[in-house]
Structure 1
Amino acid sequence: MKSLTERYWRLPLPYIASADEKTLAGKFGVEPEIIKILNNRGLSEKKEIEKFLYPTLYDLENPSELLGMAEACALVYQALIEEQEIIIWGDYDVDGVTATCVLVSFFQSLQIKVRWFIPNRFTDGYGLELQSLKVLLEECSSSNPLLITVDCGISNDEEVAFARSRGCRVIVTDHHEPGEGNCSADAVINPKQRGCQFKDKNIAGVGLAFYLAMGIRAFLEKKMFFNRVVIKPNLKQLLELVAIGTIADMVSLTNCNRILVKAGFEVLNISPSPGVAALLEECDIRSANITAEDIAFQVAPKINAAGRLEEAGFAAHLLLENDPAIAKKLARKLSNLNKKRKELCEECLETTLTNIEYSLNSNDHCCIAKVDYSIGILGIVASQIGEKTGVPVILVTSANDKKLGRVLKGSCRSIPGINIHQALKNCKDFLIKYGGHPMAAGVTLHEEMFDDFRNAFSAQLSELSSMPAEPREVDLEMEMEKVLSAKIIQQMQMLEPFGVDNEKPIFIDRNIILQDINKLGRNGDHLSFRKRGRFKSLKCVAFRFGEYENIIKNSPEFNMIYTISISRYKKAAKWQAQLVDFL
């Protein structure tokens, strides 16, 4: 069925629980509707439902399954025995920052000297950068330091070769798509490299950093390394960082990622570290029921703001800080940076949409534009434009590169069903470099190649985009009153974390009447309203539905497709219905 926003939906029949659903619901102590939601996601057997609802760290794949893990652990052990310095080179996004902090915290717990470096987005760019690497190695006090990359490095053959030529041993840990050649590092840990038997190919960079820590700990235990002076570290505290980085990187929240994030939620809810605790408080997240949305829309943007506007290393300092008073000041600064970032994004979004004269009714297959804004905010704005247009978006801006001079650099954001990384690969002849994931990527190209690249990329998407859109599924027909009941909300939280490949359940409530309809936000982009109930009205929110205010006001009743979200304000947390679409 086509909605008023021009989207297609497959609607469910009124729900009647089957005998099997009732039986499974009884075994797990949940409502049959929860079992139905799991069935909709392909989970119907008792064992797989149990693993989904109650994942444990014992269900994780063994670190030894990762190709290169044995070599990496041996290199770390050698560095420890020789008392050589260890350098962690990260990335400026949330995944890279948290991955850096995971390994720094791990090595510090082993009482090992460790140095870390996170590149500057504007001067260094992504991955290993030759000039900064030279300076870092010159400052190093060790003759044969060990360099470990996290969330980057798989495409930095030249820089890796340089580091090794200076006597540096190199371990690359990365989850991005490998290039066509082989990385010349001493050890490479990437589940996507040829020959790696690790089953979960979608693990985030921070997840790989945690796996490396697990592998090293097991290796050192076999070597009888731990004693009264160096105690075997408990890795559980690091899972708070793994949860934050994994959710922020928008990887699949299934298998290993789900297990790691679920365990990380336990730490975040019960015993966050001083730096993370200060950040949660700054986000007004104080109740012990943190959600993936809290991370994605509150915590992660503040961490990202440092790298988008200033130095990402500032965010790492916060996450590594053990003094609560200092952490509080750092968290406040991050929050202020994020406010500034929001203002810049709003300005860029409005200007870009005006300049490209783009609308939801466009028949184009993608949106590719040059803008005159900081590269640090382009990814966010590209995502916002993608939400409005329903097509993949690429925004580029003129930037200075230490090696290449003045070039165009930009961010790419896709939509479900279109692998933007593969589309870029098919257009690589027009690019200097590219990299990323199916849903998000980065590009660098010469100014004179922009038009040719735009035409080639649009042609790539033409065939894919001409296919009819697959209707989205509504999970259940269910009244808001029941979904917002304490019982269902508690059981819905068992399905967390929600995100890629584990979308938040979507419901439909038919023939509802709305009242108290008001615009929200600086520009009136959002709406708030209430559903008229039998005994009391229920609060609802509609993000980015401001333009539909009159349609909603003039409809006596309609069918509301919705989900639920948590609203946090001044230490209070309340659940509410959130409009997804309406019929």
Structure 2
Amino acid sequence: MIQSKMKWNFTYSDPQKSGEGLPGVTPLTKQLLEKRGIFDSESAEQFLNPSVDQLHDPMLMEGMEQAIARVKRAINAEEPILVFGDYDADGVSSTSVMVEALKKAGAICDFYIPNRFTEGYGPNKEAFQFAFDSGYTVIITVDTGIAAMEEADFAKELGIDLIITDHHEVQEVLPDAHSIIHPKTSADYPFQELAGVGVAFKFAQALLGRFSEEFLDLVVIGTIADLVPLKGENRILASIGLQAISQSKRPGILALRKVCSLEGDMNEETIGFTIGPRLNAVGRLQDASPAVDLLLSEDMEEAEQIATFINQLNQERQKIVASIAKEAEEMVSSTEGEAENVIVVAKEGWNPGVLGIVASKLVRQFDRPAIVLAIDSEKGEAKGSARSIDAFDLFTNCMEVRDRFIHFGGHAQAAGMTLAIEQIEGLREDLIQLAEEKLSDDDYQQVLDIETTVELEDISLKQIEEVNQLRPFGMGNPKPLFHLKHTPKEVRLIGSKKNHLKFQFQSNKSRIDGIAFGMGELYPQIAPHASLDIVGELGVNEWNGRKNLQVMVKDISVKEWQLFDYRGSKHLEKNILVPPKENYIAISFQGRTEAPCNVPVYQAGEFLQDTTVDGLLLIDLPDHMSVLTDLLSRVEARKVFACYHLQESTFLKTWPSRDHFKWFYGMLLKRGSFNLHKEADLLANRKGWDRSMVEFISEVFFELDFVKMEDGIITVESEPSQKDLQESSLYREREEQLQMEQTLYYSTYKELKKWFDQYLNQRFKHVKEEVVNGL
């Protein structure tokens, strides 16, 4: 038995009860669409075939008309406009879209992105003062600004018209800006989940008076990288944006593709795991301006130089993240007991730019909301990022303790913050208290929403292509997860560090590979012939022109007990691995006191009470089978290790049949006597027996009073009573020993497993049956 690490939520319903409004699609596609709230053919058509015709009019956004009018006045008056952006992938792509759109409209403009380390997140007075001193009278924020109350007042004092375009969570009070363009402050706008670059794109459309397809290759970057829900307009922009970026001739995009060795069409994973992280890396380690310069560059040579530099920064970023994550994990693990309900770790010297990534790693490892802070002792402040689990809304809960922060902003699952050092402990205590009040134990376990259970024979290239009709996948439209139950033909470790698992599942009609990254520690816990329950994503691995079906495994479970067959093995220490926090015991029937891997040894007779263990090691065999069956009836075990061996085997000796006994007795009657010491070997050689069989027959006859034995001379009793061989305790013991060896030692794996199935946890099975029958 292997317990799944995550909670499996089987979300599908009985297909006979589902809606009937989706003609023309297969049952699987129908089920997937209904799971996403799509029950009619018109909605299905729009979802499966997103197009620009489905986008909303940007002028429906509150503040848009006023903002566009101000920008056009600035263009006509040749007033310079400053685009104030953010330093992440959404921010730099938003900045690039806005700058390019303003220039196409004829504006004099430039951009400004605050330095994460010297200025922090969002607009600041010093930057606005610099803009005023440089002659700017209009500032347009992108992907930031909705929480900049003081900065908006300062801009007004300077005489700067501040236009805010943003998508982050709206706080209680809005800034006093010239215009605010934000989906969530626009009651008439149908879709509220646009990314920052989506809002900038809408502004560009309104400014240029047309659909600006030339920006789609930028829009897709911020939309996917910022993890906004990929539904509604975001799905449309991501879908057509992926087509655009795959065909883009923009030098910056081509340079990124070259440095990342990207060929062919891009998908959401390319953006999320390759393009996005590199653009993010610039602002994490330094001023983010080179990322915007790359996207706006019109020169291929310049773009390649910047892309190479950005790629080097990303490699440096990876090393820094690994170092900080290791320290943070050690800080959490060093606390006594399990991780606290909310993790808050802080240290001086950590790079604030990568703390969001570190927080994400902590959330994945410990299944807890995590805040990671870098301490600046000179300023007396701590600055960092937070990531959360699904059940804990960071924005809502942190707003309940807003007084603890100097600056705070973000979403339900991600946030950034600055606070005084002396507030760190209070913040930890407050958030732990809120989590204790609002969350249950189940909330701390990651949930896998499973679309459906599939049979191995039903997995095909056509089915996977059908699933891919729902792409692009992401937040709000997760890649479908499927449940599969099957016994793998092969399980092996792969990877340079042997920390990944590869399965081969095969039936008469189908073969599919399973890849479980980072699950190598489960290898010694999976017994041969174990039936695995796995949850994963279906896909195709294409190599050298061949397409192989595969499932990317997210979690593994073995629902029944497992047998590990190490009978006669001399390498038990290498084969048996005791997982941390699991309870393993060894049982001896012959008085042994040592077991492999320092597992505690108990004598069989010590177990008088019912016992539950994770692992049960049987290190030798009993004299009587009943002793073992009695033990098994009182032990509930997830795993049983048969690691005994035989010093001397009864099974390998010749076992006498009744005819052998009959012939030997007849021989004694004819001869009158038999010298066991002198004639046993001669008889054994002549008959093709072995000496032990001759001795055994003789001892059984003696016990049954059929013969007399004196100094090795055997003679027949004159009037023996009639008795069956079974009346000899020696015969019964040897017969039982033979049966035990045959059953427990010389049997096949399947035969041994079947035998244990009869006796293991017999009492517990009986109790469960009684309960069911009683109900």
Task: Quickly name the TM-score band, shorter chain normalised.
Answer: 0.7 to 0.9
1:425-440 superposed matches below 5 A: 425-440=399-414
- Structure 2 distance, partners of 1:399, 1:481, is 59
Answer yes or no: is the 8 Å Cα contact 2:488–2:503 preserved in 1.
Answer: no
What amino acid sits opposite 1:200 in the alignment? F
1 CA distance for matches of 2:161 and 2:456?
A: 58
Q: 2:428 aligns with which of 454, 468, 493?
A: 454
User: What amino acid is the match of 1:345?
Assistant: V
Pairwise mapping of residues 488-527 of structure 1 onto structure 2 (< 5 A)? 488-513=463-488, 515=490, 517-520=492-495, 525-527=499-501
1 CA distance for matches of 2:316 and 2:540? Answer: 25
Contact kept? 1:517, 1:553, Cα under 8 Å: no
Instruction: Give me the whole-angstrom Cα distance separating, in 2, the residues matched to 1:98 and 1:566.
Output: 31
Within the candidate set 385, 395, 401, 1:411 is matched to 385
What is the Cα deviation at residue 438 of structure 1?
Answer: 0.5
Give the match for residue 556 of structure 2: 582
Task: Please list, as runs of the form range in 1=range in 2, the aligned pairs for 1:20-419 lying within 5 A after superposition.
Answer: 24=22, 27-28=24-25, 31-140=26-135, 145-193=137-185, 196-218=187-209, 235-288=212-265, 290-357=266-333, 362=338, 364-372=340-348, 373-399=350-376, 405-419=379-393
- TM-score, reference length from structure 2: 0.67
Decide whether the 8 Å contact of 1:94 with 1:249 is kept in 2: yes
How far 1:325 sits from its partner (Å)?
Answer: 2.9
Unaligned runs of 5+ in 1: 219-232
What is the CA distance between 1:555 and its match in structure 2?
A: 6.3
1:221 alignment counterpart: none
Q: Which amino acid aligns with 1:365?
A: N
1:181-237 per-position Cα deviation (integer Å, ceiling 9, x unaligned): 2311111111223x633232221111100111112123xxxxxxxxxxxxxx76112
Residue 129 to residue 20, structure 1, CA distance change in 2 (3 Å): closer
Match of 2:6 in 1: 7
User: Per-residue CA shift, 1:5-52, capped at 9, x if unaligned?
Assistant: 332213478x99769889946x25xx4312211122221211111111
Task: State which structure, 1 or 2, has the greater radius of gyration over its C-alpha atoms.
Answer: 2
The amino acid across from 1:275 in the alignment is: G
Confirm or deny: 8 A CA contact 2:64 2:179 kept in the other structure.
Answer: yes
C-alpha contact (below 8 Å) 2:94/2:219 kept by paired residues: yes
TM-score normalized by structure 1? 0.87
Contact 2:9 2:448 in 1 (8 A): yes
Cα distance change on mapping 1:323 and 1:565 into 2, 3 Å: farther
Deviation at 1:354, TM superposition (A): 1.3
In structure 2, distance between residues paired with 1:256 and 1:155: 24
Residue 228 of structure 1 corresponds to which residue in structure 2? Answer: none
Q: What CA RMSD, in Å, does the superposition of the two structures yield over aligned residues?
A: 3.0
Change (3 A) 1:574 1:210: farther
- Read off the aligned partner of 2:355 and give its amino acid letter: L
Deviation of 1:457 (Å): 0.8
Q: From the superposition, tell whether residues 481 and 396 of structure 1 become closer, same or farther in structure 2 (CA, over 3 Å).
A: farther
Point out which structure has higher relative CO (alpha carbons under 8 A, 6+ apart): 1
Say which SS state the counterpart of residue 319 (structure 1) adopts: helix
Offset from partner CA, 1:523-555 (integer Å, 9 cap, x none): 655444443454785443223323323224666
Offset of residue 408 of structure 1: 0.5
CA offset digits 1:387-426 (Å, max 9, x no partner): 111111111111389xxx3300111101113211001001
- The answer to whether the 8 Å contact 1:514/1:557 transfers is no
Change (3 A) 1:261 1:3: farther
In 2, Cα distance between equivalents of 1:192 and 1:19: 36
**Partner amino acid, structure 1, of 2:288:** A
State the distance in 1 between where 2:289 and 2:146 align: 21
Out of 465, 474, 478, the position equivalent to 2:439 is 465
The alpha-carbon distance between structure 1 residues 526 and 351, as it changes in their structure 2 partners (threshold 3 A), is: farther
Structure 2 residues without counterparts, runs of 5 or longer: 558-775
Distance 2:515 2:318 in 1: 20
* Code of the aligned partner of 2:208: R
Query: What is aligned with 1:229?
Result: none
The alpha-carbon deviation at position 170 of structure 1 amounts to 1.3
Distance 1:78 1:18, change over 3 A: same
Q: 1:188 to 1:358 in 2, by over 3 A?
A: farther
Aligned length: 554
SS of the aligned residue for 1:581 comes to strand
Displacement of 1:125 after TM fit?
0.6
CA distance in 2, matches of 1:48, 1:377: 40
Change (3 A) 1:449 1:359: closer
Q: Is the 1:284–1:571 contact (alpha carbons within 8 Å) kept by the matching residues of 2?
A: no
Read off the aligned partner of 2:54 and give its amino acid letter.
D
| Bigger Cα displacement from structure 2, 262-271 vs 470-479 | 470-479
Greater alpha carbon shift after TM alignment, 362-371 vs 241-250: 362-371
What whole-Å deviation, never above 9, does each CA across 1:491-538 have from its counterpart, x for those lacking one? 3332112111111101122113053522436x6554444434547854
Give identity over the alignment, percent. 29
Measure the CA separation in 1 of the matches of 2:540 and 2:30. 22
What CA distance in whole angstroms lies between the structure 2 residues aligned with 1:307 and 1:535?
Answer: 51
3-state SS of the aligned residue for 1:503?
A: coil
Indicate the residue corresponding to 2:678 in structure 1. Answer: none
Post-superposition shift, 1:88? 0.4
CA distance in 1, matches of 2:545, 2:245: 16
Match of 1:223 in 2: none
